[in-house]
Chains A and B, each alone.
Chain A
Amino acid sequence: MNPSVDALRATFGNAIGRAAVARDGETVVYVRADGLRDVMQWLRDTPGQAYHYLVDVTAVEHRDRELPLEVVYFLRSLDRRADLRVKVELDADADLTVDSVTPLWSGANWLEREVFDLFGITFRGHPDLRRILMWETYAEGHPLRKDFPLRGRFSRAEQVRQALAANPEAHYSLEELSIADAQDDLPPDMKERLQRGERGKLSRDE
């Protein structure tokens, strides 16, 4: 069992649910949805924890309808070479909403969009919660949910019609694809390194 679990219990008390060691040897700890944001911030910023790297965000819907949906966060501390899996349980009948961790790890942006797209889980505080795999006008629902028919909800002809009506350029906005614009979003230290020519030379900002 990862010692982070005991540290979490000591700090957050009953916001921390059960914990177990998965079959691959990694520790899984359940966190109450309303405490998620604080727990994640603590895990990232506390010196002894230092889970700086969010490997993946995904979700699970069990075939047993009684069981709640789970949102799974894979955390890794590169410094300490430690892994931790954090899970949040969401009642499928209630509204599927959980706090976004994108403000903590920018890399969660597209991962949470993927979970939203395929499971319909809303991430509160996400800067840009749009579909990412299916096109934005996709109207059939969230394909990885268990109540989603394998071949989709619409007839094949309707699916073809809707697909052809989609504008392929609308999905990939030019801002999304433009590296020049992304440069403005770089953190200052990285900009400074690029200016020095540490990784090639930038023609802009000179």
Chain B
Amino acid sequence: MKHVVETQEIAGQSPNWMLARLDDLVNWARANSLWPMPFGTACCAIEFMATAASRFDFARFGMERQAFSPRQADVLICAGRLPFKLAPVIRRVYDQMPQPKWVISMGACASTGGIFDNYAMVQGIDTVVPVDVYVPGCPPRPEGLLYGVLLLHKKIKGESLGDRALREEHLLDDSGLRLPPDEIETISEPFGNSVHQFRSA
């Protein structure tokens, strides 16, 4: 973004008109006033709280107000592992958020299932809701989450109001899946150490 806003002085007065691309102006406003909806389920939520507290203080990045109602939130931060039992809950929270909305998947468990490659755990929340930024770590330090937030700012500033596909939410069918089953299988495949885990009949 080279020229966000241009102002011009007329006849020695203070600037009294300005020119900007609507995209830049709107994205600038959106990116710098993200209201997070914390969906904290595990230890990542502790780091999330540290990020929100005075030392790291993500209010510096426009996240002054944490929205504990999805109706008033812009960015859903899933901090922690997501069991299958909570999958319909996060789906509903996401559905209740008004557009425009974004999702940050914080930590290894939210992003991939982490060490919990078992019967109870969703293997990456992207099988349930679309994710914009993945923050790695177990749990990520507050700097990590802040970096994720800054990446989200960057992403938002690159968006275009004309691109309606960005705001589209579609499910495959009545089953509630947003990805085709084989894609979910691919995402959920064991990796790393968990390929060595076999405990089956």
By a beta-carbon cutoff of 8 Å, the part of chain A in contact with chain B is 134-135, 140, 143, 147-152, 155-168, 171
The reply to whether A155 and B85 contact each other, CB–CB distance below 8 Å, is: no
Say how far A162's CB is from chain B's closest CB, in angstroms.
Answer: 8
CB-CB under 8 A for A164 and B198, given A143-B119, A157-B184:
no
* Stretch of B8-16, B21-29, B175-183 that contacts chain A: B175-183
CB-CB under 8 A for A168 and B92, given A161-B176, A163-B122:
yes
User: Is B131 part of the binding interface, using a Cβ–Cβ cutoff of 8 Å?
Assistant: no
The reply to whether B185 and A157 contact each other, CB–CB distance below 8 Å, is: yes
CB-CB under 8 A for A163 and B88, given A149-B200, A150-B119:
yes
- Sorted nearest first, the 6 A-B pairs with minimum C-beta distance are A157-B181, A152-B119, A149-B200, A164-B176, A156-B188, A163-B84
A166 to B120, CA, bound (A): 14
The reply to whether A165 and B175 contact each other, CB–CB distance below 8 Å, is: yes
The reply to whether A151 and B117 contact each other, CB–CB distance below 8 Å, is: yes
A159 to B184, CA, bound (A): 10
The reply to whether B87 and A156 contact each other, CB–CB distance below 8 Å, is: no
> Using an 8 Å CB-CB cutoff, how does the interface string of B132-172 with A read, 1 for contact, 0 for none?
00000000000000000000000000000000000000000
Say how far A18's CB is from chain B's closest CB, in angstroms.
Answer: 31
- Further 4 A-B residue pairs, CB within 8 A, beyond A149-B199, A163-B88: A150-B199, A161-B175, A161-B176, A166-B88
By a beta-carbon cutoff of 8 Å, the part of chain B in contact with chain A is 84-85, 87-89, 91-92, 117-120, 122-123, 127-128, 175-177, 181-182, 184-185, 187-188, 190, 197-201
Which residues on A sit within 8 Å (CB–CB) of B198?
150
A124 to B190, CA, bound (A): 40
CB-CB under 8 A for A148 and B201, given A157-B182, A160-B184:
yes
The reply to whether B177 and A160 contact each other, CB–CB distance below 8 Å, is: yes
Say how far A93's CB is from chain B's closest CB, in angstroms.
Answer: 15
Say how far B57's CB is from chain A's closest CB, in angstroms.
Answer: 33
The reply to whether A150 and B91 contact each other, CB–CB distance below 8 Å, is: no
The reply to whether A164 and B117 contact each other, CB–CB distance below 8 Å, is: no
18 A-B pairs in the complex with CB atoms less than 8 angstroms apart: A147-B201, A149-B200, A150-B119, A150-B199, A151-B118, A151-B200, A152-B118, A156-B123, A156-B184, A156-B185, A157-B185, A160-B84, A161-B181, A164-B91, A164-B176, A166-B85, A167-B88, A168-B92
The reply to whether A160 and B119 contact each other, CB–CB distance below 8 Å, is: no
Say how far A149's CB is from chain B's closest CB, in angstroms.
Answer: 4
Say how far B122's CB is from chain A's closest CB, in angstroms.
Answer: 7
The reply to whether A164 and B197 contact each other, CB–CB distance below 8 Å, is: no
Which residues on A sit within 8 Å (CB–CB) of B84?
135, 159-160, 162-163
Q: Which residue of A lies closest to B182 (CB)?
A: A157
A140 to B182, CA, bound (A): 20
Greatest chain A CB density within 10 A among B120, B128, B197 is at B120
Q: Which of B118, B122, B177, B185 contacts A150 (CB 8 A)?
A: B118
